[in-house]
A and B are shown apart, each in its own frame.
Chain A
Amino acid sequence: MTVTTFKPETAEQAAEAVRWALSEGEPLDVAGTGSKRELGRPMQTAYTLDLSGLNGVVAYEPEELVLTARAGTPMAVILPMLAEKRQQLAFEPQDPGPLFGRPAGQGTLGGVLACGLAGPRRISAGSARDHALGMEGVNGRGEVYKAGGKVVKNVTGYDVPKLMAGSFGTLTALTEVTVKVLPAPEDTRTLLLAGRDDAAAVEALTRAMQSPHEVSGAAHLPADVAARSGVRGVSGIGGAVTLVRLEGFGPSVAARVAALKEELGADAVLDREESLAVWREIRDVTFFGPLPNPPPLRRGGDESPSPASAGEGRGGGTGEHLLWKLSVPPADGARIAGAIRDRLDAALYFDWAGGLLWVATPSPDSAPAIRGLLNGSGHATLVRAPDDLRASVEVFQPLPEPLMALTRRVKDGFDPRGILSPGRMYAGV
């Protein structure tokens, strides 16, 4: 299918494109650089609204803890700018590019918010939604509107910026976003426990989270996953590895490492460099590698497909094409993981102190097995799968009918004609 891409450079141009699409009844695939295009249900649109031309930081005031940028501003611009002032996006946004066989660092700030991506620090700092303060965007009526504010504390009107986080462009084409930024930790260390089984590991992570030591990362890599780490201090253990991250001011980290090492009976401490490296692997799920035939970076874009650095991810054999992300009550993590292993040929690991399971499986009919285990508490997202499967299996956790009905009405309130990425999350939404 030939795809025409609109690439507006102003919010008003974006609105004009949406009004045209409305008048023609043509839905738009709302995208940034398209680095996360395979997240969600496959789209069948003839037109793409490419927001990557809305590029540039509008205001960054470190002392106000606020950054405003146009939605298409690359993360590769924003993250170094924050790092220079020793600040960060505390929700530790995942970079899923490599998962889909793309180079790292291709995403935009708007895309990170729209996909609601957060990393290991989710457990202490919150998710993307917790850092979304304000926005401007184009609704499905072709109107430019704004919501929220540009200060860190605001309850004026409904918190629409939160609603945008994780809405995958189905409610509004974001043109500008304001996010909360926070100091980056001065130092980082990771406690390592070797050879624990899933249950013992989650129990140790629970104890770490129940301590006053302000844990900012709590993961467990079973032996087969730990072996794939590029961090020698992890893969070299030769067995399962349980990791607890402590960040903050130097003297504080030193004191907490000492205390928690004792309390948990930890076997080793990873230094700053190894810590940064292993938590990046955990965040970006590099253990479960890319698909063998990576799709091009842009569909209908002006750049030639970049040769994906596909080989970077270790292990991603052809037997592990499907990738599931499960959010569950943390204390249930080990039990659910065990049940998954009983039912499926799967490799998996734990983040969020047991509350997040990344599951790789070759089984194309894994959806009922995985979702059947959740029992109404938690949700499972099919993060990576071939197009045909993502078209036939619900990618996002199916919602109970009353909630689905409300979801449709919310969509209708922003995009009554289904112009903005219809069907990306749920059929008809």
Chain B
Amino acid sequence: MRMPEPDAGVIARRREIVSALRAIVPGEGVIVDESELRAYECDGLTAYRQLPMVVVLPSTTEQVSQVLRTCKEMGVKVVPRGAGTSLSGGALPLADGVLLGMGKFNRILDLDFANRCAVVQPGVTNLGISNAVAHEGFYYAPDPSSQIACTIGGNIAENSGGVHCLKYGLTTNNVLGLEMVLMDGTILRLGGRHLDAGGYDLMGVITGSEGLLGVVTEVTVRILKKPATARAVLIGFPTSEQGGDCVAAIIAAGIIPGGMEMMDKPAIHAAEDFVHAGYPLDVEALLIVELDGPPAEVDHLIERVEAIAHSKGCCYSRVSTSEEERLAFWAGRKAAFPAVGRISPDYYCMDGTIPRKALPLVLQRMNEMSEKHGLRVANVFHAGDGNLHPLILYDANKPGELEKAEEFGNDILRLCVEVGGVLTGEHGVGVEKRDLMTDQFAPVDLEQQQRLKCAFDPDGLLNPGKVFPTLHRCAELGRLHVHKGELRFPDIPRF
């Protein structure tokens, strides 16, 4: 993985850049000391590390605006960062760049239950929003597994999902308004407490733009009343194919569960050994299906799901009879990553999405790849929406094994694209999948996306080196040679 070549001219002006930043953000808000910079050298994708040139921690929108404008004027790159939990390297610093930390934007600004929304600063954690509205029985629906730590600003950047997003949507479906700052310092407001921002859906573009288009400084999210009740069913199958069939049949029956997760045998065993959730160990695939809503609905649907499971040949089925039991079912799934961490020195988490019908083929091919690369793999799977999380087990201390794991991961993602899926369902492209973008998109597709980037950041200073494998100058992308009258009148049906 190569990052853009650091600009020695910029690094040489470090002192000047630092003093310009200090004029905007006083005191401890500008960090230059190497030992302190170390805390920012990577995000959740720890295989890649880079000390930033300087870290700035603004605390007002006006400061963010001035920092960005100043960096633009000085030709300095900027990498925005929330809590640094990205699994794709979205917040990986640049040696010649300013790291813009949004951690001081940690206030909840308004809870508006009449309009069912919360207005918060971007550094508030995902779970912090739900906690703030819990006393009125409300919550914020998207729940990425890092929700204790990850911030809503980072969620906007990555369009984060979670186990409940099949029914309740991703971040993009739950945001009503944004305040953001462009690289030239312009402060914009999009949307608000009403539905549908006017004009182009720029909020839809910002959400999931991985920090390449602007820096979000305020967020208005939709909050929902908590479902009256929730129950879960554990269902085991002798083959993963039957598990996949069961998921398809549940959806074909018109049921969209609050959560529908699948684990393969290695993941089941790792989780059970770790948290003793009571999972059956003699099954090849385990489903957790959670139904939420009014008690009458949940009781009705549990029965229907159990009937479907039996018709698809399940060999194990257990319905939660108490809240403790429901949470125990989930404890294993939620601990799947650390559980796998116990059986292997290191693991590498992938994030492709596939059409669900391709699951048996993908699992079979993954097993073949596992043998080829000589590395084990455990699978957890957001079964409802086809989002795979294969965990590749490796040992970083063995020379060459990290590279082997990455190559294995790349093979899996290429396979996802080959069967009609995509490179990333919720973790983002970042640096991790950047060079695979050409497997999913043609050059013309990527150029159109980059022209969209040019509308926001014409100098390409915001988070360069992420998402796009090749950087183009906007002037070059915008070139259009048209010669009047050169094309004959098109030979297509006309009236």
Contact = CB atoms under 8 A, between A and B. Distances in A.
Interface in B169-204: 169-170, 172-173, 182, 186-190, 192-202, 204
B195 A327 contact: yes
Contact of B254 (A86, A144, A171): A86
A5 B169 contact: no
Contacts of B423: 156
A183 B256 contact: yes
A300 B492 contact: no
A144 to B, nearest CB: 7
A252 interface: yes
B114 A13 contact: no
A9 B491 CA distance: 11
Interface string B419-440: 0111111111100010001001
Interface string A127-145: 1011000000001010111
> How big is chain A's contact interface, by range?
35 or more
Contact of B424 (A87, A127, A155, A160): A155
A252 B454 CA distance: 49
Contact of A162 (B198, B201, B442): B201
A412 interface: yes
A368 interface: no
B458 to A, nearest CB: 8
Interface stretch (A104-112, A282-290, A402-410): A402-410
A184 B256 CA distance: 11
Contact of A6 (B165, B449, B484, B494): B494
A304 to B, nearest CB: 13
A402 B195 contact: no
Contacts of A63: 248-249, 251-252, 356-357
B198 A151 contact: no
A386 B112 CA distance: 39
Interface string A403-423: 100110110111011000000
Interface string A163-188: 10111000100000000001110100
A56 interface: no
Q: Interface size bucket, B side?
A: 35 or more
A94 to B, nearest CB: 13
A276 interface: no
Interface string A1-30: 000111111000100110110111100000
Contacts of B476: none
A209 B115 CA distance: 9
B198 A139 contact: no
A77 interface: no
Contacts of A330: 114-116, 193-194
A396 interface: yes
Contact of A156 (B248, B254, B437, B494): B437
B386 A152 contact: yes
A163 B205 contact: yes
Nearest to B492: A13
A233 interface: no
Contacts of B421: 149, 151
B172 A162 contact: yes
Interface stretch (B145-153, B272-280, B288-296): B288-296
29 contacts: A19-B487, A20-B487, A23-B483, A65-B385, A118-B196, A123-B195, A126-B169, A127-B196, A129-B201, A150-B355, A150-B420, A151-B420, A152-B353, A156-B423, A160-B449, A163-B202, A165-B204, A166-B200, A171-B200, A249-B300, A251-B297, A259-B294, A302-B495, A327-B196, A331-B112, A355-B195, A402-B188, A403-B199, A414-B452
Given A130-B172, A147-B448, A162-B204, 7 more contacts: A6-B493, A20-B488, A151-B355, A159-B209, A210-B116, A248-B297, A410-B200
